[in-house]
Amino acid sequence: MSRIAILGSGAWGTALALSFSARHSIALWGRETDLQQQLRETRQNPLLPGIHLPESVAVVDEQAQAFAGAELALIVTPTAGLRSCLRAVAEQAPSLPVIWACKGLEAGTGKLPHDIATEELGAAHPVAVLTGPSFAQEVAAGLPGAVTLAGNSIEFAKHWAAQLHHSRLRIYAADDLIGAEVSGAVKNVLAIATGICDGMSFGLNARAALITRGLAEITRFGLALGGRRETFSGLAGVGDLILTCTGDLSRNRRVGLALAEGRKLDEILTTLGHVAEGVPTAREVANRARELGVDMPITAAVDAVLSNQLSPRDAVERLLARDPKIEG
C-alpha cells in the first residue's frame, strides 16, 4: 500500500480517489474550500451523484497535508491548473514522483504537460500521464475499463501501472509520453466537431468519417511532435477518441451538440458545470499545427467555430466541400 496525494477534487480526481482507495491510502486536495467541506461532511461530490467516498479517503484543505508521507503525487486538475500544482511539488515535495491526468495544451503557450513538467521539475524528474478511454462517472461506479500510463521512463510507468492496476481498472504501461498527451488533447477537439455533426443530424456515416479523419489529424500532429505511430492506434489514441466522440457522458461532445443548437459558447460552458478541455485546446492545437505545417482541417474548423469566425453549419459544409485527395 502506498500513500497517494491527489491534487484536484473534481469529478475525475474524486473518481480516481475512490478507485485507488481499495489498495492505497489517499489524501484528496482541492482548491474549492466549500467543495472540500462538502466532501468531508457528505462523502459525496455533486458532480458524481449517487457515489460515496469511503472514509479511508482523507479530504484535506492544504497541499502540505496531502504531501505528508506521500509516495506519489497524482495531479487531476484541468490543464490550466497543472503548472501551479507542479510548482507546489517542486517547492514542498521535490523528490515526489508525479503523474497527471489532465488532457490538453497550456493556453497561451501551446505546451504539452510534459513540457510544463520539465520547466517546473527538471527533465530527470520521474513523471507520467494517465490517459485513455475513461469517464469519471463509470470509474467511480466501479465499471470496468482500461487506460494507459505513459511515463518518461518505462520502468517508472511499469512500477506505477502495477501499483495502481486493479480488477476494474486495467492499466497498461508505455513510454510514449508525447503520443499519449497529443492523443488525449486533440481527441477533445474532435469530440466537439462530432457533437456539432450529430447535433445537425448529419448521420452515422458522417460521424464515422469524422472520427476516422480525426484520427488521421491526431496521428499527423503527434508524429510531427515526436510521438510514435503505434500509440495512436491504442487506448490513448483511437480508444479515447471513440469514447469521447460517441459517449453521452463526454462534456466536449455536449459542447458540440449545444453549438449545433445555436447556443452561445459562454452560456454552454456555464451550464456544463465541468471544464471542457477541448475549448481552450482547439486554439493552441490549431496554432501549433500551422507552425509545424501539419494539415488539420477539422481542428481548424472547430477553432473557427469557437472563435465565432464560422457558424457550425458553415464549418461542416466547408469540410464537406474540400477537394478529394488520396487517403492518408
HEC secondary structure over the chain: CCEEEEECCCHHHHHHHHHHCCCCEEEEECCCHHHHHHHHHHCCCCCCCCCCCCCCEEEECCHHHHHCCCCEEEECCCHHHHHHHHHHHHHHCCCCCEEECCCCCCCCCCCCHHHHHHHHHCCCCCEEEEECCCCHHHHHCCCCEEEEEEECCHHHHHHHHHHHCECCEEEEEECCHHHHHHHHHHHHHHHHHHHHHHHCCCCHHHHHHHHHHHHHHHHHHHHHHCCCHHHHCCHHHHHHHHHHHHCCCCHHHHHHHHHHCCCCHHHHHHHHCCCCCHHHHHHHHHHHHHHHCCCCHHHHHHHHHHCCCCCHHHHHHHHHCCCCCCCC
What pLDDT, on a 0 to 100 scale, did the predictor assign at position 323? 59
| 103 is an active site residue | no
Least confident of 200-214, 278-292, 312-326: 312-326
What pLDDT, on a 0 to 100 scale, did the predictor assign at position 17? 97
Fold match, 3-175 / 185-320: no
Q: Determine whether domain 185-320 maps to CATH 1.20.120.80.
A: no
- Listed in sequence order, the residues at least 6 apart from 123 whose beta carbon sits closer than 8 Å to its beta carbon are none
Residue 324: pLDDT over 80? no
What pLDDT, on a 0 to 100 scale, did the predictor assign at position 295? 95
What pLDDT, on a 0 to 100 scale, did the predictor assign at position 96? 98
**What percentage of the chain has pLDDT greater than the value 90?**
92
Amino acid at site 187: K
Residue 319: pLDDT over 90? no
Catalytic residue from among 103, 111, 158, 187 = 187
What pLDDT, on a 0 to 100 scale, did the predictor assign at position 252? 95
Q: What does pLDDT average to over the chain?
A: 95
- Per-residue pLDDT band for 321 (boundaries 50, 70, 90) equals confident
Residues 76-123: pLDDT tens digits? 999 999 999 999 999 999 999 999 999 999 999 999 999 999 999 999
The CATH homologous superfamily for domain 3-175 is: NAD(P)-binding Rossmann-like Domain (3.40.50.720)
Residue spans of the domains in the chain: they are 3-175, 185-320
What pLDDT, on a 0 to 100 scale, did the predictor assign at position 317? 80
pTM across the whole model: 0.94
Q: Is 322 exposed, middle or buried (0-12, 13-18, 19+ CB in 10 A)?
A: exposed
Residues 202-242: pLDDT tens digits? 999 999 999 999 999 999 999 999 999 999 999 999 999 99
